[in-house]
Amino acid sequence: MSETQTYDQMAGQYHYSDIPQEELIAQINRLRKEKNAIILAHNYQVPEIQDIADVTGDSLGLSLEATQTDAEIIAFCGVNFMAEAAKILNPQKRVFLPHLGAGCSLADSITPESLDDWKERYPGHTVVTYVNSSAEVKAESDICCTSANAVSVVRSLENDKVLFTPDRNLGNWVAKQVPEKKVVIYDGACPTHDVLRSASLERTYRENPEAVIIAHPECREDVIDIAHEVCSTTGMLKAVERYPETKTFIIATEHGMIHQLKKQFPHQEFIPADGCIGCRLHCPYMKVTGLQDLYFALNDERYEIHLDDEVIEGARIALERMMAVPRDN
């Protein structure tokens, strides 16, 4: 293949700019067969990555899929904590993150040291950590959760005192659903969801008064209060099924979800909550991975995930406890 290198300063890596898309797709399909690889993609990935993936889903669904595959290689098209989780659950497999720039601001908001400080401040609390966190933080937690089962995880705990990290918006949502628990909430947030305000959503709703509003629980409380449904990205697909007569839906989450919704429900209209795709509901980390990155991850086997055995063991316990709890909806 003819290749021209360009340097990506954010990721500290090279891209190859003139490989035709059709050739990339053909080569990726060849490589995944030859290397017994599976491609997992989050619902926020760019459309071409979602379309070539073997499985597309939310964090919980992809975590479960990672434990059930017999593939020898997992190419995880998402962000770093997702690839780490796949490695934790499959230490014997090789896991690759196609782009080094695929980080997460929310995961970076908490460290093992800051979590230890909170644990000292709130002794006797069960630590529930959102899966959007580093492997090291998971290893210091009692149980993990995703947006798909956070309420069920907290409700399942015998302890009434809970320390919820790191997303304050998800934590506030959970605390409202489980008022019998005393939930202390860490002060982190997803910038993509936290930027959305009720005024923007209300304006979009006024323009589409017949629509059903579906919001992700990482959104702020004023946004969630307006929504008709609050759920994870996979939960959004199920929510649409509950409204067979509704033609229009307003989606309050990262706009990559719109692609998956349109694929599964081509006769319905899906409008971003901020009224314009790519304006505010845009996660730059979820958008850095392209077909070329995936090709070179498989072809060159680059950017493999490596974790210490001690971290894997501690984090695995928290993740397996999470996966034993069913979805909220």
Interval 279-294 mean pLDDT? 92
pLDDT confidence band for 97 (50 / 70 / 90): very high
11-to-44, 83, 99, 289 alpha-carbon distances in Å: 19, 16, 7, 11
| Residue 277, C-beta contacts closer than 8 angstroms, at least 6 positions apart | 255, 258
Indicate whether 288 pLDDT > 60.
yes
Interval 283-300 mean pLDDT? 97
- Measured on CA atoms in the order 294, 300, 302, 304, is the torsion positive or negative? positive
pLDDT confidence band for 7 (50 / 70 / 90): very low
Q: How many helices (H) and strands (E) does the chain have?
A: 16, 14
What does the buried/exposed string (b/e) look like for 42-79 if buried means 16 or more CB atoms within 10 Å of the residue's CB?
bbbbbebbbebbeebbbbbbbbebbeebebebbbbbbb
Indicate whether 9 pLDDT > 70.
no
Indicate whether 219 pLDDT > 80.
yes
Average per-residue pLDDT in the chain? 93
Indicate whether 297 pLDDT > 80.
yes
DSSP per-residue letters across 258-305: HHHHHHH-TTSEEEETTSSTTTSS--TGGGS--HHHHHHHHHS--SB-
Most confident of 11-20, 57-66, 90-99: 90-99
pLDDT confidence band for 1 (50 / 70 / 90): very low
Indicate whether 328 pLDDT > 90.
no
> CA-to-CA distance for 5 and 13, rounded, in angstroms?
10
- Measured on CA atoms in the order 250, 254, 258, 264, is the torsion positive or negative? negative
Pairing mode, strands 269-272 and 126-130 = unpaired
Indicate whether 193 pLDDT > 50.
yes
Interval 87-93 mean pLDDT? 94
DSSP per-residue letters across 202-240: HHHHHH-TTPEEEE-TTS-HHHHTT-SEE--HHHHHHHH
- Spatial contact of 48 and 291, defined as CB atoms under 8 Å apart: yes
Most confident of 61-70, 168-177, 270-279: 168-177
Q: What per-residue confidence (pLDDT) applies to 18?
A: 66
Global pTM reads: 0.91
* Whole-number percent of the chain with pLDDT over 70: 93
Q: What per-residue confidence (pLDDT) applies to 116?
A: 97
Q: What is the pLDDT of residues 222-256, one digit of tens each?
A: 999 999 999 999 999 999 999 999 999 999 999 99
Q: What per-residue confidence (pLDDT) applies to 10?
A: 47
41-to-54, 160, 245, 266, 325 alpha-carbon distances in Å: 8, 36, 30, 21, 22
Q: What per-residue confidence (pLDDT) applies to 329?
A: 67
Set out the domains of the chain in order of their start, with CATH numbers: 5-103+285-306 (3.40.50.10800), 106-189+310-323 (3.40.50.10800), 192-272 (3.40.50.10800)
Indicate whether 4 pLDDT > 90.
no
The phi, psi pair for 246, rounded to 5°, reads -85, 135
Indicate whether 276 pLDDT > 70.
no
Helix H or strand E segment including 150 = helix 150-156
Indicate whether 11 pLDDT > 90.
no
Indicate whether 119 pLDDT > 60.
yes
> Which has more pLDDT, 66 or 266?
266
Interval 79-99 mean pLDDT? 96
Q: What per-residue confidence (pLDDT) applies to 63?
A: 81
Among the ranges given (16-30, 94-108, 213-227), the one the predictor scored with the smallest mean pLDDT:
16-30
